[in-house]
Amino acid sequence: MKRTLIAAFFLAVAAPALAQPYPHRTVSVVVPYPAGGSVDVVARLIVQKLNDSMGANFIVENRAGGAGGAVGANVVAKSAPDGYTLMLTASIHIITPFLNSKLPYDAVHDFAPVSLIAAGPLIVSTAPNVPANSLREFFDLVRKTPDKFTFATSSFGSAGHLAVELLKRDAKVDTLVIAYKGAGPMLNDIMGGQIQLIADPMASSLPLAASGKIKALAVTSAKRVAAAPNIPTIAEAGMTGFEFASWYGLWGPKGLPAEITAKLRDEVAKALAQGDVKERLGTLGFEPIGSTPQAFAKFIDDEAAKYQQIIRDAGIKAE
């Protein structure tokens, strides 16, 4: 009888803790890149809205390091699937496995897709001291003095990397591409004139282009974008059929409970439907999307097939 009463007591004490609604403690949304880049900007916007709707439990945790955000992604892959460690990152997460066979995780099977968040074109830019005002003029200069030009990407295998390699192919130039560890260092160097061409998401490049710190040459969308109507498309420079976008999504570790996945998906969808979020993303050149986990998983499969073909066609070699 005494043991029964003791057991009942502990169950009564434990029950409220077990029944606490998600989230009842801090949720780390891992961004596997330094602060200040486009992924970080989108993550902080979404986290702010999740805090508004679900309680002030969400934080952005920048875990930079490793090609393609491997360090931060590995933290999430190895975390308990309890909803308290998530990852918000870009399309590079799906590209990296084609370029690095030694990743300590499976980029698809070790993660639970929650929602596709947003997508947007890249801005192709040059340094302010380069005497070219269009993409056509830029590549004319490169062909005349190729040794004076260095291209760059924020990370090996990023959307910007693939876009730069496609530009090289279409322009028929063979120029060195330097892979940085994050957008911040790359943007500092193009502002300083140490590198001469990048393709970078609008979230991080557009403010610099608007202030004249870098020179925007083209956008990678099929049409000009409302956030930057004065920047021409790559097709307007004579490279027809060129269209490329960077996209962003939210994942958890494999085994994330269905009820937590659904709750996060619903709250992200509500956030993306808000007028101020749409406006903010629009000024950064992004289209808010939102999706079911199932639709996001299908999207990932389709994008992976596309990226694999681009890598083969561009001849990008694994590190």
Rg over alpha carbons for the chain, rounded to the nearest Å, is 22
The rounded distance, in Å, linking the Cα atoms of 162 and 165 is 5
Distance (Å) of CA 56 to CA 27, 161, 179, 309: 9, 36, 36, 43
pLDDT digit of tens for each residue in the chain (319 aa)? Answer: 445 544 444 444 444 444 688 999 999 999 998 887 788 989 999 999 999 999 889 999 999 876 678 999 999 999 999 999 999 999 989 998 998 888 999 999 999 999 999 999 999 999 999 999 999 999 999 999 999 999 999 888 888 999 999 899 889 999 999 988 778 899 999 999 999 999 998 888 999 999 999 999 999 998 999 889 999 999 998 887 788 888 999 999 999 999 999 999 999 999 999 999 999 998 888 899 999 999 999 999 999 998 898 888 777 777 6
**What one-character DSSP code corresponds to residue 236?**
G
Record the pTM: 0.81
The rounded distance, in Å, linking the Cα atoms of 121 and 123 is 7
- List, in order of start, the domains of the chain with CATH numbers: 26-120+245-314 (3.40.190.150), 121-237 (3.40.190.10)
